[in-house]
A and B are shown apart, each in its own frame.
Chain A
Amino acid sequence: MPAVQETIDRVRSIDVDQYKYGFFTDIESDKAPKGLNEDIIRFISAKKEEPEWMLEWRLDAYRRWLTMTEPTWARVEYPPIDFNDIYYYSAPKTAAGPKSLDEVDPELLATYEKLGIPLREQEILAGVEPKNRVAVDAVFDSVSVVTTFKEELKKAGVIFCSISEAMREHPELVRKYLGTVVPVTDNFYATLNSAVFTDGSFVYVPEGVRCPMELSTYFRINEQNTGQFERTLIIADKGAYVSYLEGCTAPQRDENQLHAAVVELIALDDAEIKYSTVQNWYPGDSEGKGGIYNFVTKRGDCRGKNSKISWTQVETGSAITWKYPSCILRGDNSRGEFYSIAVSNGCQQIDSGTKMMHLGKNTSSRIISKGISAGRSQNTYRGLVSAHRKASNARNFTQCDSLLIGQDCGAHTVPYIESKNATAVFEHEATTSKISDDQMFYCQQRGLSGEEAVALIVNGFVKDVIQQLPMEFAVEAQKLISISLEGSVG
């Protein structure tokens, strides 16, 4: 298999330093004072020149948040977070206001360049395959610094911009859909996000339009002590199709940083949204010092008939991941999919999974989750599949497999299956095993080193999910998995 050979080559060529995005860009930034109170929220809202209703919405969320307590049910452990010791707003000084590419601080462009995200349209245009172009919204700390290919997308009628810009340019759309999938009081972190979210991407694909290129947002946390609270809203109108990719990295630091995002997807009749994530936040060092707390609420609403939402995620980063991309299958004949690879090494803790809520008739869903734990990490799959009384002929197939590498790690499976309709058919299977000695022996006997053999076997283990990723991401994901597991066999 050529892809596997490629991965092995990459593993071989990797530096000793495993996290290669750990650098910090020295750029002057504009910050709100540390801490959280109503003034900070007013400050954020004013900075973003938001309409009055938005400020009210935020303040309402904040007041509700004050009455809520942090969830403790996930299988993750961390010291209490001091929510007043975080900068809730930090923006590169030069980034205020919407910009054309030429005006963007070259320092920022260089940063994204280093991350492997070319923001210059012409460079992408010079690529061999014009079909594989990707439009990028680059979010740096709290603000979106640039969005590429906007003009071209506009011709197709697709709106792709930062959510702050959408609030100014398309308030009717934002107001109609914001918070309708993840309500303000959904959970502790979603409520916090509703109060303080700073930026994120907004996508609207109009009726009958197939988005002409892949859309992508690249999140970068740069400043110290900041939290990133982004909010993404994607709407696919009747018969529309969009494929969206999300990537993220952060510098290597000793402290823990909080990332609490909310992503809302809405698919109307016959629409389809494909959402792919490669999550590579800084995972902390091998002793578990530093790293990002990734507490994310992602939910898609298959609101229309025959709609489809598909989540694909590759989780390799973050000290702690707490994330359950879900689908509400409201429309009749709608379909939800969740493909996940969660790799944990070192002292990482992952508690991730999905919820498939079958409400409409003839809805179907599929969950494929592959967890790989190594080092001293803990990796939990937690998921819910439920059928409402009226969800006749709901179908679900779930497969979650865990692979353990080393004897100090843990792999856990916590599925909830709730059926209130007799015609619903749910199937769930889970396995946990280690890489067998036979498999290792077979590979090594053919001349592969121990590490190469693990990479090969792991690649086979996750193949089902990798196949679901857009091409550009698949390569990236395979590479990432190999890096994440480096040093796990010895």
Chain B
Amino acid sequence: MNMEPRGMESHAETEIAELFDKLRQDLPGAAEVARSREAAFAAFRQNGLPHRRVEDWKYSDLRNRLKSVPAFAAPRDDAAAGAIVAAAGDVYAAVDRYRLVLVDGRFHAGLSDVAALASEGVVVRPLAEALAEDGADLFEVPEIAADNAAIGLNAIFCGDGLVLTIADNTRLSKPVEIVHALSADAAVSTAERVVVKAGAGSEVTLLETFVGGTEGSFANSVSDFRVATGAKLVAARLQTEAAGTTHVGTALVTQDADSAVKLIGAGIGAGFARHQSFVRFNGENSRADLLGITMVRGGQHVDQTLVVDHAVPHCDSRELFKTVVDDDAKGIFQGKIIVRPHAQKTDGQMMTQSLLLSEHADMALKPELEIFADDVQCAHGATSGQIDEDLLFYLRARGIPEAEARTLLVLAFLSEAVEEIGDEVVVEAFEERIRSWLSAKE
């Protein structure tokens, strides 16, 4: 790791240490879990919050961003939690789905369709409970994410979340929405974890929504998708948190043989957001599709970081990330494809495109290839630019007003990624968000 020697401890770092001192006795989990928390805390004491001198966080200096770390929310009753969820809005209101609700990092079974899911072969357990029984394996992460500071911070504080166990060969009739809602009246920190164990041959569509929040909120969630042989999983993650929040969202994917995963991420909200995805192939003949749609404006800062680890032969991965940056906002894409020695016949294709709508928009791209096997096909492409004046002229020559023409062209730019989503429910919800984002400009 490119860890620089530590300098002065920041205010937020001191707060984190104090918070852990206060909470460590009450955090759930058996001795083994406590040990992994202590190990994560020791690493935090050594390295602090990630900053610009740590290569993976070069463009997203979390230490600089986090001036203060708010406390974790106290437990609430279902009525109070339900009010927070209702206030945050319902993106998938029109969709027939199961709902699982997390408010300020705590799972609310009373607001969730636990029984209905059980009848379809899905066992839902609160993470706090599972930690006490299953021990530390719930905190295990693939090698490529082992040093990640945000995941480490989540492991230190993780008090609740969900464990979703989908029985072998189960095909869910409806998508499952997992709501991550933040209260809007007071800033809180969260550190929840969602572990999805998709059994062999199962098929599931997950809709994760990250909503709510207020100035100073710090959400740090981890979603861990463990996909068994032959399973198919679609996870659409939509982040529309309030402007003042700091959002760090991690998706971990481990895939056994013959599995297929589609990970779709939309980053629209939060003042400072880091979406990171780590995909590891453990079995041959698997495929992962990663799609990203990012739209930022004002002073927003949104980072899409991903690492795809081709550890075994004969796997395919496709990454397509589109970023639209307006005003003074900053967009970041960091993508890395690793092909391990002997992972022959790997096919990895990564594309990232960005559209800068204003003079001071800022975009940083870092598409990486790290290849140790020779019989592979790997490529990446990256572009950055503004709306093509010729296209704009073409539309205006046909009587379309300029603003409308620009909107059309942005939509067209994003549509390539939207079309790849496939799932109608997700496409409609995402298109709706894109349109409302574009119309909010005036």
Contacts and interface: CB of A to CB of B under 8 A. Distances in A.
A72 B3 CA distance: 10
A426 B385 contact: yes
A427 to B, nearest CB: 5
Interface stretch (A122-130, A147-155, A197-205, A404-412): A404-412
Given A415-B382, A421-B359, A422-B359, A432 B371 contact: yes
- Chain A contact residues: helix, strand, loop or mixed: strand
A57 interface: no
A428 B369 contact: no
A423 interface: yes
A99 interface: no
A61 to B, nearest CB: 23
A417 B377 contact: no
Contacts of A423: 386
A224 B384 CA distance: 49
A313 B425 CA distance: 53
Contact of B369 (A73, A424, A432): A432
B440 to A, nearest CB: 20
Nearest to B58: A416
A120 B341 CA distance: 51
Contact of B380 (A404, A413, A421): A413
Contact of B363 (A389, A415, A418, A427): A418
Could you say which interface size class chain A belongs to? 35 or more
Nearest to B379: A431
A434 interface: yes
B17 to A, nearest CB: 28
Contacts of A416: 364-366
Nearest to A420: B362
B110 interface: no
B436 interface: no
Interface in B316-336: none
Contacts of B371: 402, 404, 410-412, 432
A428 B383 contact: yes
Nearest to B388: A425
Nearest to B382: A428
Contact of A407 (B375, B377, B379): B375
B381 A429 contact: yes
B316 to A, nearest CB: 15
Given A389-B360, A404-B374, A419-B356, A425 B380 contact: no
B330 to A, nearest CB: 9
Nearest to B342: A407
B356 A429 contact: no
Contact of B379 (A73, A389, A432): A432
A37 B291 CA distance: 56
Contacts of B363: 417-419
B341 A407 contact: yes
Contacts of A422: 356-361, 385-386
Interface string B85-113: 00000000000000000000000000000
Nearest to A412: B370
B420 interface: no
Nearest to B344: A407
Interface of B: 2, 55, 341-342, 344, 354, 356-386
18 contacts: A402-B371, A409-B374, A412-B371, A413-B369, A415-B365, A415-B366, A415-B367, A415-B368, A416-B366, A418-B365, A422-B358, A423-B386, A424-B385, A425-B386, A426-B365, A432-B378, A433-B377, A434-B374
